[in-house]
Amino acid sequence: MKTPSDELFQLIRSLNSREKLYFKIQSGKAIKGHIYVDLFDIINGLKSDIYDEERVKRHLNDRSEIKNIKHSKSRLSEAIINSLERYYSDDRGDVEIQRLLHQAEILEKKRRNNSARKTLLKAEKLALDYEKYEHLLIILSKKVRHFRINSEVEQLRKFIRSDVAKEQVYIERLQNQIQYRNMLNEINLITTQYNSVVGNRKLESKIKKIRQHPLLSSPARALTYNSLRNYYYILFDCTLLTGQYDEKAYGEAMQWVRHVESKGHLDPNYDDNYLVALSHLLLNQKNRGREHEMEETFERAKAFYLSLPLKRKSNFLMSFFISITSNYISSLTTIGKAWKAARLWEEVSGSITFRVISSSSQIILAGNLVFTYFLLARYHEALKWTNFILNNPSDGIKQDIQIEMKTIALIIHYELENHEVLKYIARSTRAYLKKAGRLGAFENMQIDFFEKEAHLAKGRKEKLALFVNLRSALIRIAKAQPVKYKFDFIKWLDSKIQNRPFAQQLTADN
């Protein structure tokens, strides 16, 4: 038996709450709209991650209006897509242009020539505003056809005098947009497969070749707003892949933000592009240690995002705001301001939905929060985010992060005096590392401490002796077997030996 399609189920699951509400309101206004609202509600109410058509059919048994489930699903899919098109129509100039072109065609068929010409002029103005050169070429073609069919000689002469030259300009600008778009697609193909090209000579050479392309020699080579936007996107990706956050890259990031701010009225995707530009600027500032400027950039991004109406807070936009927040939290924690990072997260977390970002981005943000709360000795919150990472492994995350989180989990349970749990977790961690081929002498000694020794020492002197001996042994091992983890276990031992908070120990050592 053929498996029922789950495309409608997946489409409904992809909708956010505002899109669902808009669909139900609009469908309720349509004739027999309630039929599809019923089917929508049934599918939306399925709790499983797998579509169950038999369950849907059982719910529909008493609804004689829906006789053919396959046909009804198709009609509902169409209604949802139409609803989404209307919902986002205010943000897309080409939707309105298409509508005007269709109106002009109808008016021409009805021989309302004057109205048809005026409608084409409206479409032309809108296409110019949004730099839709592919539409402008179609509009010119429709105009000349209209003049020829209706024998409008004077209008035809005017077209030959001026619009033929316009056509060449439109073609040139459209070609310019296509060249930048293709270059962006080429580099996006790399970014989807690699987080960095450092050390990969073949890819480093490819990025260098892209970076030296004549179209990237100056922003003046971009002839349209859309081309210029892609120009900065390409530079952004080149910087991300190579990690070369130099003064030139910083200047380009500043230019990008100013460009979006000054020309945003031309961009139907202004919200998205503005946050992307601010995200790139903040990354540059983070890598160049510009703490004050970084704070200003984050505050601009936060004020902009939080001020937007709900309708404009798309999942894409939210994911970039979360990315900016995550980077800023990481920076604050690194410079010893974990208290500020925690306060920031508690301030913005209520206005975002964690699940909209990719699984790898979720892990990165959770990791930043682990370190933030750990430095503040807020171990229960740190454990919450540690468990999130350990229980949600991502293919896009290096194994090192999983190992690091397991080590931090051991320390947290030690700090919380969960000694019975600690023994179990220590054994589990040893088994994991052994299976992964990562159980070296350093890791083995760490685990031995938490499994067999940590709970034995009761007084301060006994604990101090254990920490000193462990530190000496690990230092000897580390000289022969370099350990490269973000979390510095030796410094944690130093903090216990010197009896001061780990955050203070890091500050003192730096």
Closest CA to 272 of 240, 237, 229: 229
Token digits for 148? 């020829």
- Distance, in Å, from the CA atom of 371 to the CA atom of 494, rounded to the nearest integer, reads 17
- Output the pLDDT for position 505: 82
- Distance, first Cα to last Cα, the chain: 67
Q: Are 438 and 430 in contact (CB under 8 A)?
A: no
Instruction: For 453-498, write each residue's pLDDT tens digit.
Output: 777 767 888 888 888 999 999 999 888 877 667 788 899 999 999 9
Closest CA to 285 of 332, 320, 343, 338: 332
Tokens 């609803």 sit at which residue? Answer: 83
Q: Which amino acid is at 73?
A: K
- Distance, in Å, from the CA atom of 222 to the CA atom of 240, rounded to the nearest integer, reads 22
- Output the pLDDT for position 32: 46
pLDDT along the chain (510 residues), means of 10: 77 78 64 63 79 78 62 82 69 74 83 82 86 87 77 74 82 94 89 72 85 92 90 89 87 90 73 89 89 92 88 82 91 91 92 77 90 95 93 66 89 90 91 88 90 78 89 88 77 91 78
5 secondary structure, DSSP code: P
Q: Are 133 and 177 in contact (CB under 8 A)?
A: yes
Tally of CB atoms within 10 A around 322: 22
Query: What is residue 61's three-state secondary structure?
Result: coil
Helix-then-strand count for the chain, H and E: 25, 0
- Output the pLDDT for position 369: 95
Q: Which amino acid is at 244?
A: Q
- Distance, in Å, from the CA atom of 486 to the CA atom of 403, rounded to the nearest integer, reads 11
Residues comprising the chain, all counted = 510
Token digits for 456? 């034995």
- Output the pLDDT for position 207: 86
pTM here is: 0.70
408-418 b/e (C-beta count within 10 Å ≥ 16 → b) = bbbbbbbbeeb
Q: Which amino acid is at 195?
A: N
Instruction: For 361-396, write each residue's pLDDT tens digit.
Output: 888 899 999 999 999 999 999 999 999 998 876 554
Q: Which amino acid is at 275?
A: L
Closest CA to 128 of 229, 226, 243: 226
